[in-house]
Amino acid sequence: MKNQITSALSDFFFEYETPRQVLVRNRRVGVVCRLIQLGVLVYIIGWVFIYEKGYQSTDTAVSSVFTKMKGVGYTNNSGGERVWDVADYVFPSQGDSSFVVMTNYIMTEGQSMGTCPELPGKHNCNTDADCEGGSFKRTGNGEMTGVCVNRTKTCEVLAWCPVEDDRDVPDPPLLLSAENYTLFIKNSVTFPAFGVSRSNLVEDVDSNYISSCLYHPLSAPLCPIFKLGDIIKLSGLNFQTVAKVGGAIGIVVDWTCNFDVHVKHCKPEYTFHGLYGSKEGSSVGYNFRFARHYMEDKIQKRTLLKVFGIRFDIIVQSLARKFDIIPTLTAIGSGVGIFGVATVVCDLVLLYLLPKREFYKNMKFKYTDTQVQDPDSEAGSTETDVSKK
């Protein structure tokens, strides 16, 4: 028993096994093998390393966005002149990455809490029985009192009176001057895996440049100041059409960087997308209501605005790459493993498709008779007649 264990350990540590290879001189199989290997090589170099950059590790950025609007608008609606500045037409005013610029509105002034008739079409009636007191209608403006107003043939409601009449949207939009407003975007990104921080105010963008530049995709692609009319145009929409009923624009700040070169080459690229505008449908554009409350003669009143505006969503997308030995070795190792496909395919062709497949089987495999053991034979077994042919 001791001798057997010693022999087994000696064989394990001091013997080396290698597979037997058979050289097959067959042009068709040789060409198939080389073509498959060439395809694998092209895949590894072209797709894995050049296109997918499998030799680099990747990271996405942590980012922050600040915005600032500038511009003044003027309206003269029904003889009432008014100047609109940033505090009036931007919602919210904190400079977030998502905000709305008002381009059109319906104003209902001097509303106070009381009873008044609904608008025609909201809840029509002929008698008081048609107006159920204490009930609400989803599209109504308040709680019904149970009274049918003969003058309008609509139900009386307890609400902010007079109720808003939004059936006619101003056309052309009241704040067409918004086309000339400017938007300043300040964006900072950090790639934690690589310890790199960047800002869209890159090396070429200083205070003198910012004071005079205006974004253009060709002549000024790094300028962080954008004219609203240019943004709408670059997104594929018409400004006057969108300004009437509102819409939404996506501004994408793309950081695609290669840190194998100098970090100064990591610069943002801006693209603009019309997310939704004024196409025909059951619900077009973008709007919301906003009220300003005040006291008059000890009575609480409000001015209600139905705001039609353009919503801007600033979206930061990023991908940074840098050489890393681990993904490089992984890509090379997987590529070498794929080379084994050529061997598998060629073996299938040799053993199952070619006319001399039986001959190649005899050359590739060595058959043994497990019932007869000859200690002097190779590998401790006796060859069968098939292997000796």
- Higher-confidence residue of 361 and 116: namely 116
Q: How far is CA 187 from CA 201, 223, 251, 388, in A?
A: 8, 12, 12, 78
- pLDDT score for 370: 54
Q: Are β-strands 299-323 and 247-258 bridged in parallel, bridged antiparallel, or unpaired?
A: parallel
Which tens digit of pLDDT belongs to each residue from 154-169? 999 999 999 999 888 9
pLDDT (average), residues 254-282: 86
- pLDDT score for 389: 40
Which tens digit of pLDDT belongs to each residue from 71-91? 999 998 777 788 999 999 999
- pLDDT score for 21: 72
Torsion angle, alpha carbons of 57, 188, 273, 215, to 10 = -120
The angle subtended at Cα 241 by Cα 240 and Cα 245, nearest 5°, is 110
- Higher-confidence residue of 311 and 10: namely 311
pLDDT at 120 over 80: yes
- pLDDT score for 282: 59
Residue indicated by tokens 């034979």: 377
Annotate 84-141 with three-state secondary structure. Answer: ECHHHHEECCCCCCEEEEEEEEEEEEEEEEEEEECCCCCCECCCHHHCCCCCECCCCC
| Binding-site residue set | 68-70, 182, 287-289, 306
pLDDT band at 58 (very low <50, low <70, confident <90, very high): very high
* Of 106-120, 136-150, 219-233, 360-374, the least confident: 360-374
pLDDT at 290 over 80: yes
Which tens digit of pLDDT belongs to each residue from 300-354? 999 999 999 999 999 999 999 999 999 899 888 888 888 888 888 888 887 888 7
Q: How far is CA 289 from CA 126, 160, 175, in A?
A: 31, 14, 17
Beta bridge partners of 291: 304
Structure tokens at 98: 């998502």
pLDDT at 378 over 70: no
Residue indicated by tokens 């101003």: 170
Task: List, in order, residues 6 or more apart from 205 with CB less than 8 Å away.
Answer: 213, 222, 223, 224
| Binding-site residue set for ATP | 68-70, 182, 287-289, 306
Q: Quick one: which of 249, 293, 286 has its CA closest to 271?
A: 249
Q: Among the residues of the chain, which ranges form H helices?
A: 2-14, 27-42, 86-89, 207-212, 228-234, 239-245, 325-338, 340-348, 357-364, 385-388
Rounded Cα–Cα distance for residues 46 and 324 (Å): 18
